[in-house]
């Protein structure tokens, strides 16, 4: 083999996980300590990497104010689905054990700078944050709780879309969650949607896009169809910024892009406007 | 061949696989929305445009009279020829199609007309422009608004019920399917290439996803299966259309008896119960 055909050696980029974090957007190595301190935001490119739902709660809620609801609602297997890699029921069980969460969304009540809210926070670690029956049920119950308490609902989305393993039942969760959002709309209860990386497919095409206020984190992937599917369909290359938060802002589907470090203060400020009427009524 | 063997063969022949049903649902000879309009409606006044961007050819709708009942009819539009299909984007609507549908639904609500929605689409169009104009938002908005629509909504999945693109006009008080129609969160091919890492496993995915009318009725996702003639819809479109008309009329009469508050509450309860 000539030297020129020799495949270039892949740089040995396997950092010690405990010491370094790698930005998924720009491959920059960031000391783990700094990475944690910056709330998983890349100091070089400002990419906001995924957080667990509990980390997110700690970030936006007043300390000690969060109280989980709907914990009893967990994964079910309506189709008894089995694919090439095995039974969905087993996969779901393993995911519950690994993440310590019962479904892809964590719901609860809490306060943000003293303002009472009902929260739904999705977790991408849980089967890609996919929307399935348990997710839809938790979101519906959270919305009903918001309606009952007359407190704003805030949902942080992080999802690849509907969970295939629950088939049509997952698809129906789009209609189910939107029905709950419709109720809030009619009752004048605020609903704020925060789209984080990624928010695509059936989640972007349901509750995530119909907030009174739609907010996203910088550079989050937001869109309906997958990039590869679109490229195959239209047979052309897509712009680099396609389906980013910035693209969605430019096209009129977001009110604001908010950095993680400013999220809590921004939400609190918006909530003071959004609850104007609710406060008067009390 | 003994009598018993013949009977057995017949039974096997009757039990077609989900993957075979997928092929029937996509059959080019299957009646499309223009056939249903021609066969079901004594009058049809097409209404165009979303009032914001354009008039999507992949979605058609307007005032219609079915068996003397005035309704707002809409649905994705597949063509019968290649040229038509190109013009109509193979029944894959763009955001302006969903927005047109919503505009017509709101109009139906205002005029007290029931909505009849005929679903037949591979899915919402996955294109650059569709994304730029908010395909996700358009569908999400429809789901949200349809849930609270203060007029009866009757849905019939006549061919392909392709995921969010189908659901975007399918939040109904009654959802029916033709016997050989399919309704799924993802195409069997798409599911196979992701979960089986092999697109040729689509028949396995079709079975696992439970996308046939029979399965969906059992799951409680749909309310009624409309029988197709022996040999399926494409073998006798007229008879198929007549069966759909009869079923739609039956439900029109039923739903008109229910007061609007109850109707909307029932629709909410119905979708809230999905997956419970």
CA separation for the pair A85, B252 (Å, rounded)? 46
B234 contacts B29 by C-beta, under 8 angstroms: yes
Q: Token digits for A192?
A: 């704020």
pLDDT of residue A1: 47
The total number of structural domains that make up chain B: 1
Which residue stretches of A81-166 are H helix?
Answer: 88-99, 133-149
Residue B176 confidence class, pLDDT cut points 50, 70, 90: very high
DSSP H or E segment with residue B217: helix B213-219
Enclosing H/E stretch for B54: none
Considering the domain boundaries, does residue A276 fall inside one?
yes
Residue B234 in tokens: 């494409």
Average pLDDT, chain B: 95
State how many domains chain A has. 2
Q: Which residue of B has its CA nearest to A224?
A: B136
B16, pLDDT greater than 60: yes
Domain harbouring B142, CATH code? 3.90.226.10
pLDDT one-digit tens code per residue, B184-211 = 999 999 999 999 999 899 999 999 999 9
Predicted confidence (pLDDT) per residue in A135-187, tens digit: 999 999 999 999 999 999 999 999 999 999 999 999 999 999 999 999 999 99
Q: Which domain range does residue B50 map to? A: 15-272
Q: Do B221 and A169 touch (CB under 8 A)?
A: yes
Asked whether residue A6 is domain-assigned, the answer is no
Backbone angles phi, psi at A54, to 5 degrees: -75, -35
DSSP string, A47-93: -B----HHHHHHHHSPTT--EEE-TT-----TT--EETTEEHHHHHH
Distance from CA of A85 to the nearest CA of B (A): 7
Cβ pair B211:A167 closer than 8 A: yes
Verify whether the Cβ–Cβ distance B144 to A181 is below 8 Å. Answer: yes
- Which token pair is B95? 């955001």
CATH number at residue A254: 3.90.226.10
CB B40 within 8 A of CB B66: yes
Model confidence over A17-61: pLDDT tens digits? 678 999 988 999 999 999 989 999 999 999 999 999 999 999 999
Q: Is residue B6 part of a domain?
A: no
Rounded CA gap, A14 and A32, in Å?
A: 14
B268 touches chain A (CB under 8 A): yes
CB contact under 8 A, A224 and B163: no
Chain B residues whose CB is inside 8 A of the A178 CB are 140, 143-144, 147, 171
Residue B150 domain-assigned (yes or no): yes
Does the residue A1 lie in any domain? no
Compute the average pLDDT of residues B155-168. Answer: 98
A80: CB partners within 8 A, 6+ apart: A87, A89
Q: Is residue A255 part of a domain?
A: yes
pLDDT tens digits, one per residue of A209-261: 999 999 999 999 999 999 888 988 888 889 889 999 999 999 999 999 999 99
Would you say residue B132 has pLDDT above 70? yes
Chain A, chain B: beta-carbon pairs less than 8 Å apart: 186
Same domain? For A19 and A66 the reply is no
CA distance B113 to B153: 9
Nearest to A206 among B125, B140, B211 (CB): B140
Asked if B275's CB is within 8 angstroms of A78's CB, the reply is: yes
Q: Considering the domain boundaries, does residue B88 fall inside one?
A: yes
Which range of residues forms the domain containing residue A182? Answer: 49-281
| Same domain (yes/no): A42, A171 | no
pLDDT band for position B135 (cuts 50, 70, 90): very high
Question: Quick check: A62 and A108 in contact, CB under 8 A?
Answer: no
Of A79, A137, A224, the CB nearest to B276: A137
Q: In this predicted model, what pLDDT tens digit does every residue of B35-61 receive, in sequence order? A: 999 999 999 999 999 999 999 999 999
B155 at A interface, C-beta within 8 A: no
* Closest chain B residue by Cα to residue A76: B275
Q: What is the pLDDT of residue A232?
A: 87
Residue B1 within any structural domain of the chain: no
A89 and A32, same structural domain?
no
**Is B8 within the bounds of a domain?**
no
CA-wise closest residue to A264 among A147, A122, A156, A125: A156
Contacts 24+ apart (CB under 8 A), B248-253: B248/B40, B248/B66, B248/B116, B248/B154, B248/B156, B249/B66, B249/B67, B249/B69, B251/B152, B251/B154, B251/B173, B251/B174, B251/B176, B252/B66, B252/B69, B252/B71, B252/B114, B252/B116, B252/B152, B252/B154
Kindly report the average pLDDT of chain A as a whole number: 93
Residues A214 and A263 placed together within one structural domain of the fold: yes
């Amino acid at each position: 083999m000539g030297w020129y055909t020799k495949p270039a050696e892949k740089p040995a980029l396997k950092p010690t996980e405990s010491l370094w974090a790698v930005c998924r957007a720009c491959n920059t190595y960031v000391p783990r300590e700094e990475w944690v301190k910056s709330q998983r935001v890349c100091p070089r490119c400002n990419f906001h990497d995924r957080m667990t739902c509990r980390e997110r709660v700690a970030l936006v809620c007043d300390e000690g104010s969060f109280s989980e609801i709907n914990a009893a609602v967990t994964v079910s297997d309506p189709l008894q689905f089995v694919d090439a890699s095995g039974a969905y029921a087993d996969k779901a069980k393993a995911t519950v054990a690994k993440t310590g969460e019962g479904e892809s969304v964590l719901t609860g009540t809490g306060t943000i700078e003293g303002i009472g809210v009902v929260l739904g926070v999705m977790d991408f670690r849980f089967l890609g944050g996919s929307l399935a029956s348990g997710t839809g049920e938790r979101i519906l119950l959270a919305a009903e709780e918001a309606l009952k308490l007359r407190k704003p609902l805030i949902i942080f989305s992080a999802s690849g879309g509907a969970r295939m393993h629950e088939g049509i039942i997952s698809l129906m969760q789009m209609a189910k969650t939107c029905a709950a959002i419709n109720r809030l709309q009619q009752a004048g209860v605020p609903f704020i949607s925060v789209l984080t990386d990624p928010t695509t497919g059936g989640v972007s095409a349901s509750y995530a896009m119909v907030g009174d206020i739609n907010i996203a984190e910088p550079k989050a992937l937001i869109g309906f169809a997958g990039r590869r599917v679109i490229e195959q369909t239209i047979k052309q290359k897509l712009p680099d910024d396609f389906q980013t938060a910035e693209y969605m802002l430019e096209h009129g589907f977001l009110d604001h892009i908010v950095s993680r470090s400013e999220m809590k203060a921004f939400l609190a400020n918006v909530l003071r406007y959004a609850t104007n009427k609710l406060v008067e009524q009390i | 061949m003994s009598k018993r063997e013949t009977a057995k063969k017949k039974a096997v022949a009757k039990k077609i696989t989900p993957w075979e049903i997928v092929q029937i649902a996509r059959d080019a000879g299957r009646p499309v929305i223009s056939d249903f309009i021609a066969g079901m409606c004594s009058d049809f006044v097409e209404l165009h445009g979303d009032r914001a961007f354009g008039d999507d050819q992949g979605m058609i709708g307007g005032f219609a009279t079915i068996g003397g009942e005035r309704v707002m009819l809409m649905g994705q539009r597949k063509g019968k020829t290649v040229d038509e299909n190109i013009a109509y984007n193979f029944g894959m609507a763009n955001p302006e199609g969903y927005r047109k549908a919503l505009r017509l639904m709101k109009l139906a609500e205002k005029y007290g007309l029931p909505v009849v929605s005929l679903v037949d689409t591979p899915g919402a169009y996955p294109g650059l422009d569709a994304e730029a104009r908010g395909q996700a938002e358009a569908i999400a908005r429809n789901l949200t608004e349809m849930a609270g629509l203060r007029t009866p909504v009757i849905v019939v999945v006549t061919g392909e019920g392709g995921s969010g693109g189908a659901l975007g006009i399918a939040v109904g008080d009654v959802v029916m399917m033709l016997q050989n129609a399919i309704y799924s969160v993802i195409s069997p091919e798409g599911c196979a290439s992701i979960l089986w890492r092999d697109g040729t496993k689509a028949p396995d995915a079709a079975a696992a996803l439970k996308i046939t009318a029979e399965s969906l009725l059992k799951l409680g996702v749909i309310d009624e299966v409309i029988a197709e003639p022996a040999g399926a819809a494409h073998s006798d479109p007229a008879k198929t259309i007549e069966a759909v008309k009869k079923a739609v009329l039956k439900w029109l009469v039923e739903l008109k008896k229910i007061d609007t508050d109850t109707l909307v509450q029932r629709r909410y309860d119905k979708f809230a119960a999905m997956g419970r």
